[in-house]
Structure 1
Amino acid sequence: MNPLPQRTSSAAWVRGIAELFAAEGLPVQALCAQADIDLESLQHPHTRVDVDRVSRLWEAAAQHYARPGLGLDRQLAARYGKLDLVGHALASGPNLLEGFRHLDRHMALISDATTFSMERDPRGYWLVLNHIGASRPIPRQRVEFAVLTLLTLCDWLTRRDLTPLAVELVTPAPADDTRHRAAFGVPPRFGQPVNRFLMAEADLLQPIPTHNPSLWALHEQLVEAELGQLGPLGQSLVSAKVRTEISRMLHLGEPRREDVAARLHLTDRTLQRRLQAESVSFQQLLDDTRTELARQYLADPRRSLAEVADQLGFSDQSNLFRACKRWFGMPPGQYRQQLLQPAPGPIFLAAAASL
């Protein structure tokens, strides 16, 4: 099995989260220390923070906050959801629909632990977010803040108050969803396979007042240059794109190569040829992606083994059992127990030396 890539978030994104916590009156310095994050390093634009450290920061903040709804303030999400260069590129684009067609690739600059996609619907488009590459459960506050940030971004870019037609979250239903309703504008549906919200096509086609064709082209070039320095997760390798598509499709069942090729606007033969040029097979990418997601899902005690098997696209739990024996040398239940044991030492912080 190939070593799995380390997933990270940008300094700007994590710094925004820290500023959000400060605005909520939380002790940011202490929380960052608890998550083993060097707060000063977040001032350096090329710092990247390990995905599990970001989750630890949210966990520490939620524990200190001691009440539900951390991150569910619409105004704070709009102010502190820092997209940095990607946000500037979107603000230069003609409309949300055109800009978001680039976000599925550009998202890696904000966090290569998050995937973005759009799905057509008769009423408009679903904007879909998913978190990958973690070895511990993703805190619900982190998930919900990310979705809310994307929603408030639509308002900020268009200078309009847009309301989604529907919101679906993977997080379990809270005892009281009052803050969720206020934040999203509609009552979310909880416990869903993916995080997504539905926007009317007319809203996505609203012109962006700050559109500037020259700036848009410049920002796109700058984003692509930054992505090129992120390593394999930011490069335009077909294998990286295939893994992203696999992660998006697995909850629907095991994806076929020809279906992934279609989503990438390639023929099956062309995809196979390009993967061969990168010395990798579709089956290997499928297995590697499942391994990465299995670690994340098994680290979450809220997910039953049946649910994990389903989310990984297995037809039944016996397939998950055999796969875990091959991946980890033990059945899924035993591996889960191992994951849930306290970590022996601090999680590594990556300041991307290649940047």
Structure 2
Amino acid sequence: MTPRTSSAAWVRGITDMMAAEGLPAAELCAEAGIDLAALQLPQTRVDVDKISRLWELAVARSGKVALGLCPQLTARYGNVDVVGYALASGPNLLVGFQHLTRHMAVISDCTTFALDHDARGYWISIAHIGATRPIPRQRVEYALLTLFTLCCWLTRRELRPLAVELTTPQPAATGEAPYHVAFGMLPRFGQAANRFLLAEADLRADIPTHNPSLWALHERLVETELDHLGQSLTSTRVRTEVARILHRGEPRREDVAARLHLTDRTLQRRLQAESVSYQQLLDDTRCELARQYLSDERRSLAEVADLLGFADQSNLFRACKRWFGLPPGQYRAQVLYPEAEGQGSTQAA
């Protein structure tokens, strides 16, 4: 499977934010295995696990559990590059975010973006995929807050979310203050997704910088970049869509086709042209997500099975034996405690 990565612009923004917080960005990047100089090159992409490592190091060095949870920092350093230009020239947030479900891959193909209608408005959510180590909560909170501050900047309005939800537990060390400052309210912690809810009127409000000609130009630039990254392949789009909805249960091929605005027959034909089957893509996506979920010891095996769309844990057990040659519990132990595994092998020998 192709490694998941984020753009140089996005990671450069993170390092600039860390530098603004007084942290030695060059040292942190070197320790995380990130070439800081290469981030000046637009074609550079950074591996998902290296970005998580960068956040881990920065939090440890700063001692700030709420590192990056500041709207002034996300407004200044949340660099979404050409995707941001497309959003700024579009008619409103609703239309722009409908496109962002595909365009997010330009910023990061290890992040999925979803826009879901609610009786009160629209939930705007993100999730991370493709990691083999736990994703620091600060990384998730920074990305979600960047999206929210981007909404305010694009509309030139002081927006207020109707609700904010995070999958992580409330951190005792920081208290409520940083979240009130960031979002204007206390999130609900320990929820199923990382997301915030905006009123429909806010998403339909005109963007003052809307320019149809520039919007068409920027959309073409984003589509070109998607082609360059291989994100326009039907198989890639299917895997992203599966990852986005797998936690709801095993998605049927025809349902994924509908979400991609294709007929089931067209989807089958395009996948056949790319020499891949829907079932193979579903299995590959599950395997990729299983590596990530099992690396996070906060998740129970029952929860992992649910997130992968399995009917019960026995299906997860059989799948892990096929993917990794180990049952899920042993695979998790091997990933989280490799030293112990090595000692056990030495003693056994």
Q: TM-score, normalising length from structure 1?
A: 0.92
* Match in the other structure for 1:265: 261
The amino acid across from 1:83 in the alignment is V
Percent of aligned pairs with the same amino acid: 72
3-state secondary structure, aligned to 2:34: coil
Structure 1: distance between partners of 2:158 and 2:338: 44
Residue 308 of structure 1 deviates from its aligned partner by 0.9
* Match in the other structure for 1:285: 281
3-state secondary structure, aligned to 1:216: helix
Q: How many residues align?
A: 337
The amino acid across from 1:217 in the alignment is A
Do residues 237 (structure 1) and 233 (structure 2) align? yes
Structure 2: distance between partners of 1:117 and 1:106: 11
3-state secondary structure, aligned to 1:162: coil
Q: How does 1:37-116 map to 2 (within 5 A)?
A: 37-116=34-113
Structure 2: distance between partners of 1:183 and 1:97: 22
* Match in the other structure for 1:220: 219
Residue 207 of structure 1 deviates from its aligned partner by 0.9
3-state secondary structure, aligned to 1:63: helix
The amino acid across from 1:192 in the alignment is Q
Structure 2: distance between partners of 1:272 and 1:220: 27
3-state secondary structure, aligned to 1:258: helix
* Match in the other structure for 2:328: 332
Structure 2: distance between partners of 1:143 and 1:64: 19
The amino acid across from 2:109 in the alignment is D
Do residues 9 (structure 1) and 6 (structure 2) align? yes
* Match in the other structure for 1:352: none
* Match in the other structure for 1:120: 117
Quote the RMSD (CA, aligned, Å): 1.3
Unaligned runs of 5+ in 1: 344-355
Structure 1: distance between partners of 2:161 and 2:278: 36
Structure 2: distance between partners of 1:172 and 1:293: 21
Structure 2: distance between partners of 1:225 and 1:89: 13
Task: Tell which deviates more after alignment, 292-301 or 188-197.
Answer: 188-197
Task: Tell which deviates more after alignment, 259-268 or 237-246.
Answer: 259-268
The amino acid across from 1:171 in the alignment is T
Q: TM-score, normalising length from structure 2?
A: 0.94
Offset from partner CA, 1:134-182 (integer Å, 9 cap, x none) = 1111110000100000000000001101111111112222222321122
Do residues 253 (structure 1) and 249 (structure 2) align? yes
* Match in the other structure for 2:30: 33
Structure 1: distance between partners of 2:116 and 2:36: 37
Structure 1: distance between partners of 2:110 and 2:135: 11
Task: Tell which deviates more after alignment, 125-134 or 258-267.
Answer: 258-267
* Match in the other structure for 2:185: 186
Residue 93 of structure 1 deviates from its aligned partner by 0.7
* Match in the other structure for 2:156: 159
3-state secondary structure, aligned to 1:297: helix
Residue 342 of structure 1 deviates from its aligned partner by 5.9
Residue 195 of structure 1 deviates from its aligned partner by 1.4
The amino acid across from 1:98 in the alignment is V
* Match in the other structure for 1:209: 208
* Match in the other structure for 2:344: none
3-state secondary structure, aligned to 2:197: strand
Offset from partner CA, 1:33-85 (integer Å, 9 cap, x none) = 11011111111111111111000000000111213211100110111100011
Structure 1: distance between partners of 2:149 and 2:18: 18
Residue 270 of structure 1 deviates from its aligned partner by 2.7
Which structure would you say has the larger RCO, counting Cα contacts within 8 Å and 6 or more residues apart? 1
* Match in the other structure for 1:349: none
Task: Tell which deviates more after alignment, 133-142 or 265-274.
Answer: 265-274
1:168, 1:194 within 8 Å by CA — same for their partners in 2?
Answer: yes
3-state secondary structure, aligned to 2:131: coil
3-state secondary structure, aligned to 2:6: strand
1:13, 1:81 within 8 Å by CA — same for their partners in 2?
Answer: yes
3-state secondary structure, aligned to 2:56: helix
3-state secondary structure, aligned to 1:198: strand
Structure 1: distance between partners of 2:183 and 2:144: 9
1:193, 1:251 within 8 Å by CA — same for their partners in 2?
Answer: no
Unaligned runs of 5+ in 2: 340-349
* Match in the other structure for 1:276: 272
Offset from partner CA, 1:288-346 (integer Å, 9 cap, x none) = 00000000011111111111111111121111111000000011111112212469xxx
Bigger proportion of residues as helix: 2
Structure 2: distance between partners of 1:332 and 1:252: 21
* Match in the other structure for 1:353: none
Structure 2: distance between partners of 1:44 and 1:67: 30
3-state secondary structure, aligned to 2:229: coil
Offset from partner CA, 1:225-275 (integer Å, 9 cap, x none) = 1221113xx2x2222111111111111111112221221222323322322
